[in-house]
Structure 1
Amino acid sequence: MDTSTLINIAVAIAVVVYVIYQRMSWKPLENVEIWGGPLTLVAIGVIQMRHLDTTISVTDIVFLGVGLLVSLLGGAAMGAMTQLQRRGDKVYQRIGALGLAVWVGLLLVRGVLGVIGHFAGATLTSGGGTILLSLGANLMAMTLVLSARLGGAKIPGGSPQR
């Protein structure tokens, strides 16, 4: 790996740590924030992957697909575990300790997939773009489950759960 790839991975890891910290704290649910962040991460991840000077192989696609599937399943699980609390007319969220454990597990699985993919010749899996794409997919799945838990109501409203 060259220096540019290592810098991209370091930036992606810093973003992951920041997002985890934010999700561990009680924060109000707001439509723009909960959809804007995941969509931005997916877009940045795709843009970073497009700028790689490599041909995408079947191995890359398989490892990317498995990584995205794991991210989506983990996001759905975290959405189901997210603690919700009503304060006045707003609903607040945080992932809690169990959600953090799931996220750490996802990061470990993602790391293992990256290492195995690298040795299998999947150059796409070892970049920061893939990490950001996976994180964005994870947060989108989490948001979809949270929306369903709130009964499809507008996010700032809804009924308290947990």
Structure 2
Amino acid sequence: MSPTLVLYVVVGLALLLFISFRQMQWQSVNAAKMMRMPLILVGVGLFVAVKTFDTPGSLHIQGGDLLLIGIGACLALLGGWVMGRLTQIGTVNDATHSRLRPSGLAIWFGFLAVRIGIDVLAHSLHFELAASTPVILFMVAIVKAAQALTVRERVERHELAAARDGSLQRV
């Protein structure tokens, strides 16, 4: 194993543990803050893409790459939407907060397992783009963005209902 690969694995595991821990904690809902992580992941993905595919001809795109990326993106959207639906929303100290339920965390880990499976398949079929680190970062960004947008929509309904009923679901 090369030192670069070890570094990517360590950073990847640290990122996944950080995201998983944060999702399970009550956090105040802020639309801009929820979109920060996906934007950071896209930025890092673009940086890594420039470093990885920095020479002409270093990237060979095949139809299988596009197929696996498309399947991964659809699964990422679905996983993010389900995670958003499984996010608990409540009011803590008169502010709207959210946290991911354990079933939502299971969906998150399921997505990661499927993503690893796609990577193994892509490597075995020599689809280098579909198995590249930038694509992995983009897929995690899609999951988190879909989750954030779903939660934002649910929070808006929660706050409208609370204002209409004059009651808040306290946690």
TM-score (ref. length: structure 2): 0.81
Match of 2:165 in 1: none
Hey, what's the Cα distance between the residues in 2 that align with 1:98 and 1:118? Answer: 30
- Alpha-carbon shift at residue 130 of structure 1 (Å): 2.4
- Alpha-carbon shift at residue 126 of structure 1 (Å): 3.3
For the pair shown, the structure with the greater C-alpha radius of gyration is 2
Match of 2:77 in 1: 72
**Conserved in 1, the CA contact under 8 Å of 2:41 and 2:138?**
yes
Match of 1:93 in 2: 98
Higher alpha-carbon deviation: 42-51 or 13-22: 42-51
**Conserved in 1, the CA contact under 8 Å of 2:91 and 2:97?**
yes
CA deviation map 1:129-160 (0-9, x unaligned):
2222111111100011112212379xxx5546
Change (3 A) 1:146 1:137: same
CA deviation map 1:38-75 (0-9, x unaligned):
11112211321232233141232222222222111100
> Within the alignment, does 1:14 sit opposite 2:25 as a pair?
no
Hey, what's the Cα distance between the residues in 1 that align with 2:25 and 2:79? Answer: 19
Match of 1:55 in 2: 59
Match of 1:41 in 2: 41
Hey, what's the Cα distance between the residues in 1 that align with 2:60 and 2:77? Answer: 22
Change (3 A) 1:35 1:151: same
**Conserved in 1, the CA contact under 8 Å of 2:68 and 2:122?**
yes
Match of 1:143 in 2: 148
Number of matched residues? 159
CA deviation map 1:73-96 (0-9, x unaligned):
100000011001112331111111
Match of 1:29 in 2: 29
Hey, what's the Cα distance between the residues in 1 that align with 2:35 and 2:131? Answer: 26
Hey, what's the Cα distance between the residues in 1 that align with 2:68 and 2:10? Answer: 21
> Within the alignment, does 1:133 sit opposite 2:131 as a pair?
no
One-letter code aligned to 1:110: R
Q: Higher relative CO (CA 8 A, sep ≥ 6), structure 1 or 2?
A: 1
1:86 match: secondary structure: strand
Task: Return 5+ residue gaps in structure 1 as ranges.
Answer: none
Change (3 A) 1:73 1:42: same
TM-score (ref. length: structure 1): 0.85
**Conserved in 1, the CA contact under 8 Å of 2:20 and 2:105?**
yes
Change (3 A) 1:56 1:17: farther
